Amino acid sequence: MVEIFSLTILIAYILLMLYAAYVGFRRTKAGRAEFFVASGTLGVIASFFTYVATWVSAYAFIGLSTILYTYGIEWQLFEVMTYPFIIVPLTFIIAHRVWSLAKKYKYITPADLIVHRIGLNIPVRILYLIMAVYPFIFYMGIQLIGMSAIISGISGVPYHFGVILFTIVAIIIIALGGIRGVAYSDILMGVTFLALVVVTIILLPLRLGTGYIASAVEGPRGWIFKPSLPPQYVISALFLVGIPWAGLIPHLMTKLYAAQNDKAIYASALGIGVSGLLLYSLLPIFVGSALAYYWPELPKAAVTAREEYVTMFFSQLISPVFAMLLMLGLVAAAFSTILGIAITLTSIIHVDILEKTLKLKLSERTLDLIARLLVILVALVGAYSALSPGHPIVRIAITLIWPGLSVIAFPILIALFWRRANKWGVFLGHLIGFLSLILFTYFIWPEWPNNPFYLWEGTLPTIIGIAVTFIVSLITPPEPEERLKEFFP
């Protein structure tokens, strides 16, 4: 039966979000720099919320609880371990370096930084687009899976209807939004989900009793609290997944470019620390354990996505209407991530490809229209991937998305901090890393974990990319001193 009240709450929130995006759209001034990176004028508060809102997605809000309940605790363990000693401290260094270069040299797209550092204008921009589209398709897909699980688990509307509804809303917002619009709606979204996470963490012990986590540990589903993955998988993922998130993920780089000053960057890093505690540590432990306590055996109800267990649980625990109010946090988190990805992809297609590669002599408005249509196409492919998810969204992310992002990030990291890195090293590091990722994942070792050593799926391609960057840089001539002076004064 369709729950009309809960559905009405959801629709009302979506309309509010669309309105916030529209206000931002009206306030966006003309020009590419304004449109894609808000001319580098976002202050401390806006940067904090837009960075956190883009960072946190359905992966954290519902995915980690689901993976704890269905697969076990180690998937959350390595995630939370990346925060205090890798991502948070390194963001103060790497993200600051990315921002300071962008501020000085007026970058708009992530590839602007690479081209400025190593040259090779057209090949770098084309390769970057291809490498970014691959993980972003799945990244958009998992957001749609998370949101569609709400509509089916709480409102009783079929899952696939949810995918279609949220895809349409995403398309409208992609069509409206420049980064200022995204930042405005991100403040609304960030406040929504941070508040709702706190409410959830307080609510569960009140409803289930303070000892429910201990009861879950001792219950029939206690096995989920004992790690069973090979330790080398967790260790390889810990470092190779974690480091890129300190400022080298494409849609987060655009947010860094938009920051006004270094305090805004530090506030973004602080925001990651806050998220680490609330969304990556406490929320999954509280919710995942609650599910194990409430349903020691998986529920009999047929689900399309395993994330529906979480939404069904809240619907039964606190009624569909209150469950929907809580899950608005998920809608907020998922949409802000989709928008962050969309604005970055639009900038890459518009600036890197249409303007700087194809050198099309069309009006800015026409170029933007073409770019948005192509991004909508990417979103549609993402929606297609969300129609029948074979795994929980955390597994999809760890297997398909994070490897793609790590292969992109490490050669850039080396170029940012090592003078000797040169154009052939970085370009071939990217190219060979990405090709080996595709080969290993789909052709050579298509079975999990896509290597014979039980390492994290992205380990071998990332290490190959790093090795090629170093070796090729050392055996080919260094970059000219004039170019290096701008990076290493």
Binding residues for another protein, rule: CB under 8 A, are 73-74, 76-78, 80-81, 83-86, 88-90, 92-93, 96, 213-214, 217-218, 225-227, 229, 231, 234-235, 238-239, 262-263, 266-267, 269-274, 276-278, 280-282, 285
92 phi and psi angles, rounded to 5 deg: -65, -25
Q: Is 125 exposed, middle or buried (0-12, 13-18, 19+ CB in 10 A)?
A: buried
Looking at residue 479, the DSSP 8-state letter turns out to be P
Residue type, 276: G
Q: Which is nearer to another protein, 52 or 367 (CB)?
A: 52
Residue type, 277: L
CB of 274 to another protein, least distance (A): 6
CB of 429 to another protein, least distance (A): 22
Q: Which is nearer to another protein, 270 or 380 (CB)?
A: 270
Q: From the CB of residue 104, how many other CB atoms can be counted at a distance below 10 Å? A: 9
Q: Among 454, 457, 316, which Cα is nearest to 394's? A: 457
CB of 201 to another protein, least distance (A): 11
Q: Which is nearer to another protein, 269 or 431 (CB)?
A: 269
CB of 197 to another protein, least distance (A): 12
Q: What's the CA gap between 214 and 236, in Å, rounded?
A: 30
Q: Which is nearer to another protein, 364 or 486 (CB)?
A: 486
Q: What's the CA gap between 177 and 35, in Å, rounded?
A: 8
Q: Which is nearer to another protein, 73 or 147 (CB)?
A: 73
Q: Which is nearer to another protein, 189 or 272 (CB)?
A: 272
CB of 282 to another protein, least distance (A): 6
CB of 439 to another protein, least distance (A): 29
Residue type, 99: W
72 phi and psi angles, rounded to 5 deg: 135, 170
Question: Are 63 and 263 spatial neighbours (Cβ–Cβ below 8 Å)?
Answer: no
Q: Is 41 exposed, middle or buried (0-12, 13-18, 19+ CB in 10 A)?
A: middle
Residue 229 region by backbone torsions, left for phi larger than 0, else alpha for psi between -120 and 50, else beta: beta
Q: From the CB of residue 438, how many other CB atoms can be counted at a distance below 10 Å? A: 14
What is the radius of gyration, based on Cα positions, of the chain? 22
CB of 227 to another protein, least distance (A): 5
Q: Which is nearer to another protein, 71 or 128 (CB)?
A: 71
CB of 234 to another protein, least distance (A): 5
Q: Which is nearer to another protein, 13 or 78 (CB)?
A: 78
